[in-house]
């Protein structure tokens, strides 16, 4: 009789809607993680470009000052 009760309890715990929700939650969590990685890559790319821009502006000023001294 005990095995029948266990079987009944296991069947009662199985809920297809719940499994679908859990599967959807896992999908959304995976999408969120991918979006976080993509956002981090974009931030790194922006930072890299900003640093290049700063260097180029400094180089431009240096060249302008050098040319101004030659005139």
Domains contained in the chain, number: 1
> How much is the pTM?
0.60
pLDDT tens, 4-41? 555 555 555 667 788 899 999 999 999 999 999 999 99
pLDDT at position 15 is 76
d(CA 57, CA 71): 21
Domain membership of residue 32 as a residue range: 2-70
pLDDT at position 33 is 98
pLDDT at position 17 is 81
Q: What is the dihedral of CA 63, 65, 67, 71, to 10 degrees?
A: 180
pLDDT tens, 37-58? 999 999 999 999 999 999 999 9
Q: What is the dihedral of CA 11, 15, 16, 19, to 10 degrees?
A: -120
User: In the chain, which residue ranges form alpha helices assigned H by DSSP?
Assistant: 2-13, 16-70
């Amino acid at each position: 009789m005990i095995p029948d009760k266990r079987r009944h309890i296991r069947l009662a715990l199985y809920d297809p809607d719940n499994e679908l929700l859990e599967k959807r939650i896992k999908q959304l969590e995976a999408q969120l993680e991918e979006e976080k990685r993509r956002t981090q890559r974009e931030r790194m790319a922006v930072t890299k470009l900003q640093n290049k821009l700063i260097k180029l502006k400094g180089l431009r000023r240096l060249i302008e000052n050098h040319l101004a001294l030659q005139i």
